[in-house]
Amino acid sequence: MKVLVAGGAGFIGSHLCARLVREGHTVVCLDNLLTGAERNIAPLLATEPTNSSARRFTFVRRDVTEPLDADGLARDLGGFAPEAIFQLASPASPVGYWNYPFETIRVNTIGTTNLLELANQCGARLLTASTSESYGDPLVHPQREDYYGNVNPIGVRACYDESKRLGETITMEYVRRKGVDARIVRIFNTYGPNSQLNDGRMIPNFITRALSHQPLSIHGAGDQTRSICYVDDLVDGLMRALFTPETTGEVFNLGNPEEHSIKEWALRIIALCGSPSELVYEPKREDDPERRRPDITKARTRLGWEPRITPDEGLTRTIAWFRDEMEREGLCLPARAG
């Protein structure tokens, strides 16, 4: 199948591209590299033949907020017309969307609209990647897909939260009014290789600081809860959500329902890193959710999906990748324990 992945050079997108290529699909990755990185897809590019007609993976540096015309895309890419589209193009970490608030708003609204128009022109199926941030600081726990959320529309996270919510609205209007074969997934906390070292999210922050033997910052008392899902499991859920029949217009939570406090995650990472790092407590962040845990009953029953990789297994893999990456970047790491 011919698959277009918008945001394919990002953290999740790069893993998705690799999975699609392994399964025999022909993949075009569109990314403007605002928060993505070409190094994430370098292994895919390195294995491609020089003959463009034989390539299974193609990278195009492009901003999806610019118009996407099916004929123009086919002309530029040697007749490529997508049969399936993943919309993963958006900054997703606080560092990303706080640095690029207007770009975040545009890509989740205009960019999503452009990709839905492309799907409509090509008759392609489409998946819009939304977020657990759509639930805001939830008053219902765990969060189900039919919960409308508790979001601050003028808060510091609103450029991300509200633009993702509007992207969901736009997607559903294309389903209802134009018959586009689209669905929505709400992604909960995900971690793994290919994260940015300065990502700003909980797991990358804790790992980089633990590996550097620096204190781990806890915002508030640390009793806020999070559920973390390894990226390979998440990608499997994305694939199932797009390719499972009769999922048009559906919304699925994708995440790991195993819930622990932020303090517990920090202590677990310190132990897995063999680090002497300590915890330091700072003021709580504005609009930081108190509890975050997905109800994945719908994904289990409709998609046959649930996470398979345990947190300790996933964190061990991720720590090894971060250690190698920090060494590659020339960052000075303390001597390894033992």
Residue positions annotated with a catalytic role: 160
Q: Which of 36-50, 197-211, 279-293 has the highest mean pLDDT?
A: 197-211
> What's residue 289's pLDDT?
81
Check residue 335 and give its pLDDT: 62
pLDDT tens for each residue of 134-180:
999 999 999 999 999 999 999 999 999 999 999 999 999 999 999 99
> What residues have CB less than 8 Å from 75, skipping those under 6 apart?
none
pLDDT at 291: 86
Look up the CATH number of the domain holding residue 75: 3.40.50.720
Q: Is residue 225 a part of any domain in this protein? A: no
- What pLDDT is recorded for position 268? 97
**Residue showing tokens 């919304």:** 251
pLDDT, tens only, 191-222: 999 998 888 889 999 999 999 999 999 998 89
Classify residue 221: in a domain, yes or no: no
Average pLDDT, the chain: 93
Distant-in-sequence, close-in-space partners of 54: CB < 8 Å, separation ≥ 6: none
| Predicted TM-score (pTM) of this structure | 0.94
The three-state (H, E, C) secondary structure of 103-127, written as one string: HHHHHHHHHHHHHHHHHHHHCCEEE
Residue 336 lies in a domain: no
Check residue 154 and give its pLDDT: 96
Residue 15 lies in a domain: yes
Q: What is the pLDDT of residue 338?
A: 46
The share of the chain scoring above pLDDT 70, in percent, equals 96
Query: Within a domain: residue 277?
Result: no
- Chain centre distance of CA 245: 23
Give the Cα separation of 298 and 300 in Å (integer): 5
106-135 pLDDT per residue, tens: 999 999 999 999 999 999 999 999 999 999
Helix (H) or strand (E) holding 229: strand 229-230
Number of domains in the chain: 1
- The residue segments making up the domain with residue 121 are 2-192+231-256+294-308
Q: Give the span between the Cα atoms of 293 and 273, in whole angstroms.
A: 25
Structural domain contains residue 286: no
**pLDDT level of residue 28 (50, 70, 90 thresholds):** very high
The answer to whether residue 97 is domain-embedded is: yes
